[in-house]
Structure 1
Amino acid sequence: MFQRSKLIVRKINLPSSTVSKRMYPGNPGGSSGSTGTPRGSASGDAFTKREQMNEDFFARQHEKEQLIRLREQLKRQRKELSDMESTINNMEKK
């Protein structure tokens, strides 16, 4: 008669030994020549700028797709809720 939606959430507990901390040589702040130091936006070449634009575009597209899926899910759940309310109202009338 009534269908219930179930949301299952699982919590994953990882032992602390599976998570490692990265250690880099040198001082904690790093020096300007150390590996992994981000360059300033002014020093970026055309490839770096184009790559950043592509990444930003992909991120925006991904967010748009997520919003579309969430809106569809919300629409389905609202319909299910209204169906349940109408079923309850019909049962109360009898």
Structure 2
Amino acid sequence: MKFPRDHDNKPAAWRLSGKRPEKVWERFSPSYETQLERMVKLLEKKRFSVEIRGAGSEDGEYISAIRQSPYRSIFRMLEDPREALFISEMDDNELEDWLEKGDH
């Protein structure tokens, strides 16, 4: 997966704060793309198969990750402002632990 991603012209789940994406929960903003890339890399490091789906939907884009051994599946919303802000406050170790343990 290449970051930052190319725009897909699908609508945002939440109203944008300005004329273009700027906030960490606004698809294709620099902070959104950086945060998504960080999550993807951490999950792939833990042997997860990662997909990004839901673009343009009412609930917004989400990350879906599955690991076969030991089995674990993760589903995290990316465009939810509260979730995005919560994730952005974690360093890589905290994020990795949070994703792995499922404390959410």
TM-score between both structures, scaled by the size of structure 1: 0.24
TM-score between both structures, scaled by the size of structure 2: 0.22
Higher helix fraction (1 or 2):
1
- Pick 1 or 2: higher relative contact order, CA cutoff 8 A, min separation 6: 1
Higher strand fraction (1 or 2):
2
